[in-house]
Amino acid sequence: GEALAVSARVAPLGSRLVMLLVEDLTEARRIEAVRRDFVANVSHELKTPVGALSLLSEAVMDASDDPEAVTRFAGRMQIEATRLTNLVQELIDLSRVQNDDPLEDAEPVRVDELVAEAVDRCRHAAGTKQITMAAGGTADLHVYGNRGQLAAALGNLVENAVNYSPARTRVGIAARRVGAPGGDFIELAVTDQGIGISEKDKERVFERFYRVDPARSRATGGTGLGLAIVKHVAASHGGEVSVWSSEGQGSTFTLRLPEAGSARDRAHQHPDLD
Ligand code: ADP
> Does residue 211's CB lie within 6 angstroms of at least one atom of ligand 1?
yes
Per residue of the chain (274 residues), give pLDDT as tens.
455 555 555 555 667 777 777 778 888 888 888 888 899 999 999 999 999 999 999 999 999 899 999 999 999 999 999 999 999 999 999 998 988 888 888 999 999 999 999 999 999 999 999 999 999 998 999 999 999 999 999 999 999 999 999 999 999 999 999 988 877 999 999 999 999 999 999 989 999 999 999 888 878 878 999 999 999 999 999 999 999 999 999 999 999 999 998 755 544 444 444 4
ipTM: 0.98
- Ligand 1 pocket test: which of 164, 198, 252 has the largest number of ligand atoms within 8 Å of its C-beta? 164
- Distance (angstroms) between ligand 1 centre and the Cα of 244 equals 13
Going by alpha carbons, the residue nearest to atom 3 of ligand 1 is: 224
For the residues of 147-165, what is the DSSP string, one character each? HHHHHHHHHHHHHHHHHTS
> Does residue 223's CB lie within 6 angstroms of at least one atom of ligand 1?
yes
For residues 49 and 87, the answer to whether their CB atoms sit within 8 Å is yes
Say how far apart CA 60 and CA 74 lie, in whole Å: 7
Going by alpha carbons, the residue nearest to atom 16 of ligand 1 is: 212
